[in-house]
């Protein structure tokens, strides 16, 4: 009889920033298939998702990946349900209106690697600052590059887990990195970001690091951390019309507050109008404009207005489920078929 370790991963009820939780279920002769992952329960009173007198919440498996760090192990992404089987109010995945997977998303996850001893980003000296940003972006060599072994190992883990991992690069501040994931289907895109974050956070346990997802952890003249959301649907991929693109972009203008509400806590500290950002209260779009709220990639224009858009406002600590769900709602409100 073989035994497998199934790591059930879910999002807790903390607001406005949810945290990942996980626990291990041992299954005999497990097939490795999602449909054979049983629904499981947990104590919601310990995660701000239930009261102590009625504390059971349910974990519904929605995606499964091989666990590259465990023999006979699997990573099981789950949705949280109430005891009666309805989606819990903290369940952002259940609100995504993309059952036909028409929407494709590419998320660019930025983050800082922090040293648990100094409580500073890698490369920051105690009691001071490293050289100004500029030399760290895509740098090579130990003077400006910090944490490469860690991020390479994380990339290998994501690839081994079967995630559609597309790239890594050091960002503009010392100790700041980025990776990219792409998926056809908003729910799948969210699943893969959360699994990749789980692998990232778990890996820090071996290094004496932790990950800082705060969008502006280092005050001053430094770029913050975002999670740019590249998105498209059939219309954006095929319309061939600048007018259609502009109509979709304009649909975002009157709902800035609704987007900011789900784009990540403390995002106002990052979206200042400086450091390649638009101001948190403004809305703009433009071709190749990294200072706009939404950038229209030049390749989209060169292909005759067939491609995608990049919303540059989501913060590094945002929930990709909620971000994708809000983007989809806004694009659909443009009423373009």
What structural domains and CATH numbers belong to the chain?
A: 3-93 (3.10.20.70), 106-225 (3.30.590.10), 234-337 (3.30.590.10)
Q: Of the candidates 166, 167, 206, which has an alpha carbon nearest to the alpha carbon of residue 182?
A: 166
pLDDT band at 91 (very low <50, low <70, confident <90, very high): very high
Between the CA of residue 90 and those of 11, 15, 80, 319, what are the distances in Å? 8, 9, 7, 11
Please, are residues 134 and 143 in contact by the beta-carbon 8 Å criterion? no
Does residue 297 have a cis peptide bond before it, meaning omega lies within 30 degrees of 0?
no
pLDDT band at 129 (very low <50, low <70, confident <90, very high): confident
- The predicted pLDDT at position 82 comes to 95
d(CA 44, CA 310): 36
pLDDT at residue 136 above 70?
yes
Of the chain, the percentage scoring pLDDT greater than 90 comes to: 89
Please, are residues 6 and 30 in contact by the beta-carbon 8 Å criterion? yes
pLDDT band at 221 (very low <50, low <70, confident <90, very high): confident
pLDDT at residue 222 above 90?
no
Mean of all residue pLDDT scores within the chain: 95
Q: Of the candidates 318, 106, 322, 100, which has an alpha carbon nearest to the alpha carbon of residue 231?
A: 106
Ramachandran angles phi, psi of 252, nearest 5°: -80, -20
Mean pLDDT of 21-43: 96
- Using only C-alpha atoms, the chain has a radius of gyration, in whole angstroms, of 20
CB atoms within 10 A of CB 304: 11
- The predicted pLDDT at position 52 comes to 76
Beta strands in the chain (DSSP E): 3-11, 20-28, 40-43, 56-66, 73-81, 104-115, 165-170, 176-184, 209-212, 227-232, 285-287, 294-296, 309-311
Mean pLDDT of 241-248: 97
d(CA 95, CA 61): 16
- The predicted pLDDT at position 275 comes to 66
Alpha-carbon dihedral sign for residues 154, 159, 162, 167: positive
pLDDT at residue 319 above 90?
yes
Mean pLDDT of 223-228: 94
pLDDT at residue 322 above 90?
yes
């Amino acid at each position: 009889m073989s035994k497998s370790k199934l790591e059930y991963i879910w999002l807790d009820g903390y607001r406005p920033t949810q945290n990942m939780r996980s626990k291990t279920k041992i299954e005999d002769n497990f097939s490795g298939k999602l449909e054979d992952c049983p629904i499981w329960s947990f104590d919601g009173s310990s995660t701000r998702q239930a009261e102590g007198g009625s504390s059971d919440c349910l974990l519904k498996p929605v995606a499964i990946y091989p666990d590259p760090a465990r023999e006979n192990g699997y990573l099981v992404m789950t949705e949280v349900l109430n005891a009666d089987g309805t989606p819990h109010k903290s369940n952002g995945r259940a609100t995504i209106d993309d059952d036909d997977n028409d929407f494709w998303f590419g998320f660019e996850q930025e983050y800082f690697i922090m040293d648990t001893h100094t409580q500073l980003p890698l490369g920051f000296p105690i009691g001071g600052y490293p050289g100004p940003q500029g030399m760290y972006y895509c740098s090579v060599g130990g003077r400006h590059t910090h944490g490469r072994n860690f991020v390479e190992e994380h990339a290998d883990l994501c690839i081994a887990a079967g995630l559609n991992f597309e790239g890594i690069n050091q960002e503009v501040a010392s100790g700041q990195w980025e990776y990219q994931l792409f998926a056809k289907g908003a729910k799948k895109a969210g699943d893969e970001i959360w699994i990749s974050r789980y692998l990232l956070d778990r890996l820090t346990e071996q290094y004496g690091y932790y990950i800082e997802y705060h969008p502006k952890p280092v005050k001053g003249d430094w770029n913050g951390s975002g999670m740019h959301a590249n998105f498209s649907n059939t219309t954006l991929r095929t319309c061939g019309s600048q007018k259609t693109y502009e109509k979709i972009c304009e649909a975002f203008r009157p709902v800035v507050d609704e987007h900011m509400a789900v784009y990540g806590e403390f995002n106002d500290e990052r979206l200042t109008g400086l450091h390649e950002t638009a101001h948190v209260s403004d809305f703009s779009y433009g071709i190749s404009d990294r200072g706009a709220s939404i950038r229209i990639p030049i390749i989209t224009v060169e292909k005759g207005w067939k491609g995608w858009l990049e919303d540059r406002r989501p913060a590094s600590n945002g929930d990709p489920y909620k971000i994708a769900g809000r983007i989809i709602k806004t694009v659909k409100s443009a009423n373009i078929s």
